[in-house]
Amino acid sequence: MRIAFFATCLADTLFPEAAKATVRLLERLGHEVVFPPQQTCCGQMHINTGYQKEALPLIKRYAKTFDPYDVIVVPSGSCAGSIRHQHAMVASAHGEPGPAARSESVAARTYELSELLIDVLQVEDVGAYYPHRVTYHPTCHSLRMTRVGDKPLRLLRQVRGIDLVELPAAEQCCGFGGTFAIKNAETSTAMLADKMTSIVSTGADVCTAGDTSCLMHIGGGLSRLRAGVRTVHLAEILASTEYS
């Protein structure tokens, strides 16, 4: 299958390993990955901070860039959620019915990584090998906006060598929330502290999730604590094999 890849601005810029892993994984499964270079950012930060007008060109850019493709993958539950639940709404609220219709059409072809694997490619065992103790944080937007359910866990359970341990209070927010972490930094830090306590209590070496944004937040906190737990994107675990 020919799959268009939306890397997201954050993975492109700061976490290229997550983006590269997505490409490696899909190619290993026998699919063709294309990266349309006109892509930049989904505009969620602008929308969620109260700058819909500024987000509008980014929304239109996403729709225009990916309209030629039948299947688009995003290694982020949060960006997928914004594309699906915000893009068309913002466009139509700003009197752009044409682009709103295109956004809706492209959004229907946009999948978060675990959705693509399970719903479209119908594969649960991706042939990965990852000999580490891992705990999974279901990010809020994956869980309650994109609603990926237990798909990431189903994929992780098939990984060979993995010691998957349950995260207590998993569904509680880590405190990132985009610019929330800046505008309400103290509250965000308090939420992060509880999330880190839960993660450390599992004894895992690795905390994984489907969003680089939350992982950046959690990883930044764990690094400051010198907790000895790394954050790794779901795609990186699924892309790992005995030979990599």
Give the interface with other proteins as residue ranges (CB under 8 A). Answer: 7, 9, 11-17, 19-20, 23, 35, 37-41, 43, 45-52, 54-55, 57-58, 61, 85-86, 89, 93, 140-141, 143-145, 171-173, 175-193, 216-217, 219-221, 223-224
H helices within the chain, ranges in order?
Answer: 9-13, 16-28, 44-49, 52-66, 77-85, 87-93, 97-108, 113-115, 140-144, 151-157, 180-183, 185-201, 212-225, 234-239
Q: How far is the CB of 163 from other proteins (least distance, A)?
A: 26
Q: How far is the CB of 94 from other proteins (least distance, A)?
A: 10
Q: How far is the CB of 103 from other proteins (least distance, A)?
A: 15
| Contact between residue 138 and residue 171 where contact means Cβ atoms under 8 Å apart | yes
Q: How far is the CB of 116 from other proteins (least distance, A)?
A: 18
| Closest residue by Cα to residue 155 from 119, 188, 114, 191 | 114
Identify which of residues 30 and 37 has a Cβ nearer to other proteins in the complex.
37
Identify which of residues 159 and 210 has a Cβ nearer to other proteins in the complex.
210
Identify which of residues 123 and 169 has a Cβ nearer to other proteins in the complex.
169
Identify which of residues 128 and 173 has a Cβ nearer to other proteins in the complex.
173
Please tell me the distance from the alpha carbon of residue 84 to that of residue 193, in angstroms, as a whole number: 31
Q: Is 34 helix (H, G, I), strand (E, B) or coil?
A: strand
